[in-house]
A and B are shown apart, each in its own frame.
Chain A
Amino acid sequence: MTPLVEMRDISIAFGGVKAVDHVSVDLHAGEVVGLLGHNGAGKSTLIKCLSGAYRADSGSILIEGKEVQIENPRDARAHNIETIYQTLALADNLDAASNLFLGRELTTPLGFVDDDRMEAETRRIMARLNPNFAKFKEPVKALSGGQRQSVAIARAVYFNARILIMDEPTAALGPQETKMVAELIQELKRQGLGIFLISHDIHDVMALCDRVSVMKNGRLVGTERVADVTDDEILAMIILGKNPERA
């Protein structure tokens, strides 16, 4: 089966420092692939080439076997790639609906922004994702970490993402909210989305992912099926850059 996404031989350097050095990863539909590594291992940088925030110096990106050019976030969206950033990338001064539709506003036939319709749509999707969500009028600054997270997720889900990139989705959340995000990831997986999950929390990854790709110093250490390895083996990959020994 052709993978949903293939990133082949990606390299990117910033002022002589190789942040990502010939890394290849892939992702299938209905699969969660974890990207693990220390801070500065290059996982966020790698994935930003897919979300359009950076351009790779070399290498290629294939979606369903076809090579694509992703030059900016708009290109990524055109390929149904949605990203939930660690910082959540929300405009704090705008309400949930304005954030959800930012860059893709619904408009009236005259071309004006249709706030009422966007609010109605936001209420509809929130009823599904987070039924407790009620602050539709307030700027998102007034929301809790979990509520903000659900706005960010709603944004990805509403526009029928097929490829979802989640950068540390639970970093700022309490236990209850973390559980909610975990359930949501399972749900999206069942719907056939492919999800890249960036994390440095190994427990998150072991619980949610099918495979993990481990990076260290900009290089790929290896990719393993979660079922085949132990926590300690993954830790060895992260810390020592050592692949598990096969019997």
Chain B
Amino acid sequence: MTDATADAPKRRSLTETLELDTRLLGMVGAFLVLCLAFDIVTDGRFLTPRNIFNLTIQTVSVAIMATGMVFIIVCRHIDLSVGSILAVSSATMAMIQVEWLPQLLGLGHPLLWVAACLAGLLVGAAVGALHGWLVGFLAIPAFIVTLGGLLIWRNAGWYLTDGQTIGPLDPTFQIFGGANGTLGVFWSWVVGALAALAAAAAIWAARARKAKHGFAVKPLWAEAALTLLAAGAILAFVATLNAYDVPTGRLECLFEARGEVMPEGYSEGYGLPVSVLILIAVAVAMTVIARRTRFGRYVFATGGNPDAAELSGVDTKMLTVKIFALMGALCALSAIVASSRLTNHSNDIGTLDELRVIAAAVIGGTALSGGIGTIHGAILGALIMQSLQSGMAMVGVDSPLQNIVVGAVLVAAVFIDIVYRRRTGARS
């Protein structure tokens, strides 16, 4: 009670009242400016439902891995092998569903994609756990272990496939890729509405919990504004993806396949891609792990002060194995999305992804010195990188220049971050 009256005379800014992260706001602002700029330069071709749809499905693979990279970097490690783990998982899954299992079960068997996915995730997690064991228990620096892994696993994948491109992948498996697997307009609205309700419920449950302990809570209007903002953003996103119509030629093919004739003037929106749902599920799960589990707490504590964590009874060696195994599993998940988007496995899948993933995490505010980073920041970082790249491609920037710009943006973003942290002092 006394606290509340003491605080009252102090004028608080809007962001403070809403308890918004100013750093995140800055990133969202930069992202919006970027999008608007590209939209103007391309005469309105950038912010179309079609491009937004493509942008989203192109971001998924890197974004999924970036969430795992946050844990790795927060723990003061690095993983240079994510692109190669993606490749070896993808090779395993492709071989299982195209070469090995069909000989036993027959092509088109419903278990093909399930077995492939499970095996891929297992391979990814096992390779990650091996890296974690080398780093944690044998004390080999993560940089070296994963630099070795970068060379080893892509080429292990090469031996699995004899360097051949393996495809086409199982039709059910291809649902995870993007355009081949979308919810359609109706179910997208259902999912969007449920997500909006869930977001609102989460905001108000947190408020009730705080009030129960007698902590200060935000004013009601602020809470309501946040709820509307969250729900509005979710529904606007769904509306945009629903507005992108499946090309007529493709619809005709679908009708033809069912032995029907497409009615005149028929159209259908894509809606939410399954891969985006996977990313959202990963984002929610990883955020919960980071904020609400002991494991996540220990990851951040170890990054902040490894000795303190160790002295507090945290098994930091085992923790290292776990975060690398998690990273490996997420690489395999990305492999599912990436290979099914391409509808085949080729040996160069995920090449240079390690750099995109690290850049996404770092642009998203993950500090290489450890202890600081957020899941949503990393995903936003991946989105910014992808927008920059495809925006420049649309404008017609030469591909060497594209890479130069992306590189410069990475360095500049980290510099701005350092300045920001210095200005705001320890309140990071």
- Chain A interface (Cβ < 8 Å from any Cβ of B): 51, 53, 72-74, 77, 83, 85, 87-94, 98-99, 102-105, 107, 111-113, 116-117, 119-120, 138-139, 141-142
Evaluate whether A89 and B292 lie within 8 angstroms (CB atoms) in the complex, with A116-B210, A139-B426 already known: no
What are 8 A-B pairs with beta-carbon distances under 8 A? A73-B313, A93-B428, A94-B297, A98-B297, A102-B301, A103-B309, A113-B296, A116-B210
Q: Is the CB of A91 within 8 A of B311?
A: no
A152 to chain B, nearest CB (A): 10
A-side contacts of B428, CB under 8 Å: 93, 139
Interface size classification for chain B: 20 to 34
A90 close to B213 (CB less than 8 A): no
Determine if A90 and B308 form an interchain contact, defined as CB atoms under 8 angstroms apart: yes
Chain B residues, Cβ within 8 Å of A94: 297, 300-301, 304
Q: Are A113 and B293 in contact (CB under 8 A)?
A: yes
Contacts of A83 in B (CB 8 A): 311
B307 contacts A103, C-beta separation under 8 Å: no
In the complex, chain A residues whose CB is within 8 Å of the CB of B304: 91-94, 139
Given contacts A93-B303, A117-B213, A139-B428, contact A103 B292 (CB under 8 A): no
Residues of B within 8 A of A87 (CB): 307
- The yes or no answer to B427 lying at the interface (CB within 8 A) is yes
Q: Which of A77, A92, A105, A119 contacts B213 (CB 8 A)?
A: A119
Among B294, B311, B314, max chain A CB count under 10 A is at B311
CB distance from B197 to the nearest CB of A (A): 21
Determine if B426 and A141 form an interchain contact, defined as CB atoms under 8 angstroms apart.
Answer: yes
Minimum CB–CB distance from A95 to chain B (whole Å) comes to: 11
For window 306-327 of chain B, which residues contact chain A by CB distance below 8 Å?
307-314
Instruction: Indicate which residue in B215, B300, B301, B313 contacts A119 across the interface (CB closer than 8 Å).
Output: B215
Within 8 Å CB of A72, what residues of B?
313
Q: Does B333 count as interface, using CB distance less than 8 angstroms?
A: no
Cβ–Cβ contact B307 & A112, under 8 A: no
6 interchain residue pairs of minimum CB distance: A91-B304, A93-B371, A93-B304, A103-B312, A142-B426, A103-B313
Distance in Å: Cβ of A145 to nearest Cβ of chain B: 14
Q: How far is the CA of A87 from the CA of B291 in the complex (A)?
A: 26
Q: Is the CB of A138 within 8 A of B312?
A: no
